[in-house]
Amino acid sequence: MFSLLGVPPQVLFGQLLLGLINGSFYALLSLGLAVIFGMLNVINFAHGALYMVGAFVAWLLLTYAGIGYWGALVLAPVAVGLLGIALEKSMLSRLYKLDHLYGLLLTFGLALILEGAFRHQYGVSGQPYPIPAALQGGQNLGFMFLPNYRAWVVVASLTICFGTWFAIERTKLGAYLRAATENPTLVQAFGINVPVMVSLTYGFGVALAGLAGVLAAPIYQVSPLMGTNLIIIVFAVVVIGGMGSILGAIVTGLGLGLLEGLTKVFYPEASNIVVFVVMAIVLLIKPAGLFGRER
Amino acid sequence: MTVASNATTIAMRGSSRGTGTVLIAALLLLIAVAAPFVLYPVFLMKVLCFALFACAFNLLIGFAGLLSFGHAAFFGGAAYIAAHTVKVWGWAPEFGLLAATAVAGAMGLVFGLIAIRRQGIYFAMITLALSQMIFFLALQLPFTHGEDGIQGVPRGTLFGLFDLNQPLTMYYTVLAIFVAGFALIWRTVHSPFGQVLKAIRENEPRAVSLGYRTDRYKLVAFVLSASLAGLAGGTKAIVFQLASLTDVTWQMSGEVVLMTLLGGMGTLLGPVVGAGLVVTLESYLASTSLPVPVVIGCIFVVCVLVFRRGIVGELMARLPKRGH
């Protein structure tokens, strides 16, 4: 049996895979945050809570309506997206003229409400969610065992990330979006309904979080606390990557997930804080973030 | 418009009414001295600790325009230092508190050096992330005892004279600490240094063009705020004889934001009022089956949407009208 740097390959690749999966979630969530921030100038603290809501919608659909994974994969993001649009229309839209910090404070309150309500109803212990039949089992790659579901999560989230990147950077709708990010007044003068676009952007951003929640449900347990601890790491990811570029958000998310996986192999005590340490170092060397523009 | 700028201009107008302020201060102090004979001292001490914590936080958001979402790191971190020095090393409480304040100040220096490199919303995210790092350290380091925290911290004897196990002695000590901290904040806000901070909050490029090294001013304000938050946390550890993970969580950082927001950002008394209300509300909710985070979250949402000036800010906005 060969080993790399004194670590058995199963352990190394196992942790790298886990890191890649965490990284996929970081990428999906920081992508949503970046899209929302670009358009609304709001840092959506409720993003983690909405990711948790996505996972819970999937679990509720399965438990009470008998709708399985594939149905939930469509319905849960739609439900979270609609919830997001309702929140944007009723509350967030009142704050655009104020300091951006109020948006952060409002969504912080919303996160507390969502998390507290689910916690009150379902307790802190997680609810198990089964892996769909089509994705059970795994492949033996020779150097490691690759569970099918985990491979699916990585492929699915990468597809969604690059799909979003393509939609924003290469399509006409995306061009409107980018234009409205740069100068909403002018875009509105050209006859585009910017307030609707803002609502849809927020809905889309949080739908991505809901989708990530469904993808995560079979891997981690469905628990009320799954979102907020994640979102703080994603904030660090966003600070490291800088919010200027979509591709930057994706690359940084994946990269930090892998780095976290590697840290778990070589120095497990530091795995919880490695992302924050990287953030501090990046801020000292390149304050705008790796892919950010200085403003 | 920057956060709380409105409230402060009103607050500044209010504070220029010389003798009135002195009278109000004397009256409030009198109430605080008499309070333990009416209310439960431990409850009052909790209010005072959180009030000092919120005042320290308000120094940043209200007077320098910096939203720190990681102040729990200083509050809870200092609580661990005070508890450890007093319990394990057997230090006297005054030295434990000094150590707690100093360590919180040093943490503030490190946090500040990193976070001040970005502004606005990024500043909030960076402080939040750094405080989450402190949370994980507190969870893993051996001296903090993980989930158990440091329990059974002796209150000891202050200066070798005052036995802090007496509830009233403890109360007046906490009151003295609070008044000292509050006076320091009051002095800072009304000093030339405080004026520069306000200038930075209102228009940083302009302050730079006038020749101020704004980063240094912000850093000093950050360290001062962190030290005072640490003093509050250390005091809380001595009062409750406990330092635990609760005080370093992001929820605690959010709570101090709420206290300040509810009372009135940028007003001197606002955070005190807000802390009193939130602590009262929480001790009331503890006896009901209502979920505390949901209620706190609802207050947050309502405050941000319709009540941004906070209670004291709202009062001050109305008072001058009546005077005319």
Rounded to the nearest angstrom, the minimum Cα separation between A245 and chain B is 16
Query: Looking at the domain assignment, is residue A294 inside a domain?
Result: no
- Region for residue B317 given its phi and psi (left: phi exceeds 0; alpha: psi -120 to 50; beta: otherwise): alpha
**Who among B117, B291, B292 is closest to A283 (CB)?**
B117
Residue A266: pLDDT over 70? yes
Residue A180 counted as domain residue? yes
| Chain B: residue whose CA lies nearest to A280 | B114
Q: What CATH number is associated with residue A53?
A: 1.10.3470
The per-residue pLDDT for A86 is: 94
Chain A residues touching residue B125 (CB < 8 angstroms):
43, 235-236, 238-239
Asked if A46 and A107 touch (Cβ cutoff 8 Å), the reply is: yes
From chain A, the residues in CB contact with B281 under 8 A are none
Residue A136's domain comprises 9-285
Domain residues of chain B, as ranges?
39-249
Examine residue A293 and state whether it is found in any structural domain, yes or no: no
- Report the pLDDT averaged over residues A233-255: 85
CA distances from A270 to A33, B77, B247 (A): 26, 19, 22
Query: CB B114 to CB A284 under 8 A?
Result: yes
Q: Residue B186: its pLDDT value, please?
A: 92
Q: What domain count does chain A have?
A: 1
**DSSP element (H, E) containing B250:** helix B250-263
* Nearest one of B222, B228, B226 to B113, comparing CA atoms: B222
CA B275 remoteness from chain centre? 9
Distance between start and end Cα atoms, chain A: 53
Supply φ then ψ for residue B311, to 5 degrees: -65, -55
**Which is higher by pLDDT, B28 or A9?**
B28
Query: What pLDDT, on a 0 to 100 scale, did the predictor assign at position B10?
Result: 46
Q: Which of B125, B291, B298 sits opposite A239 (nearest CB)?
A: B125
Given a cut of 60, is residue A165 above it in pLDDT?
yes
- Name which of A104, A114, A283 is nearest B118 (Cβ-Cβ): A283
Whether the pLDDT of residue A12 is over 90: the answer is no
The residue of B57, B125, B204, B260 whose CB has the most chain A CBs within 10 angstroms, and thus the best one to mutate to test that interface, is B125
Interface test with B, best of A113, A114, A118 (most B CBs within 10 A): A113
Q: What is the model's pLDDT at position B278? A: 92
Query: pTM of the full predicted structure?
Result: 0.87
Give residue for tokens 């940028």.
Answer: B266
Would you say residue A114 lies in a domain?
A: yes
Closest CA to B11 of B191, B189, B182, B179: B189
Distance (Å, whole) CA B75 – CA B72: 5
Q: What is the pLDDT of residues A85-124, one digit of tens each?
A: 999 999 988 888 888 888 889 999 999 999 999 998 888 8
**Residue A26 falls inside a structural domain:** yes
Enter the ipTM.
0.85
Residue in A240, A280, A232, A242 with CA at minimum distance from that of residue A256: A240
Q: Over its length of 324 residues, how does chain B's per-residue pLDDT go in tens digits?
A: 455 454 444 444 444 556 777 888 888 888 888 888 888 888 999 999 999 999 999 999 988 888 999 999 999 999 999 999 988 888 888 899 999 999 999 999 999 998 888 888 888 888 988 998 999 898 888 888 878 888 888 887 878 788 778 888 889 999 999 999 999 999 999 999 999 999 998 888 899 999 999 999 999 999 999 999 999 999 999 999 888 888 898 889 999 999 999 998 888 889 999 999 999 998 888 888 888 889 989 998 998 998 888 888 888 888 765 444
Residue A222 maps to a domain? yes
Contact residues, chain B, for A272 at CB < 8 Å: 136, 139-140
Tally C-beta pairs within 8 A across A and B: 122
For A40-90, the pLDDT digits (tens) are 888 899 999 999 999 999 999 999 988 888 999 999 999 999 999 999 999
DSSP H stretches of helix in chain A: 9-40, 47-60, 69-90, 100-122, 148-170, 172-182, 184-189, 194-216, 226-241, 246-266, 274-285
For the segment A196-217, what is each residue's pLDDT rounded down to a tens digit? 988 999 999 999 999 999 999 9
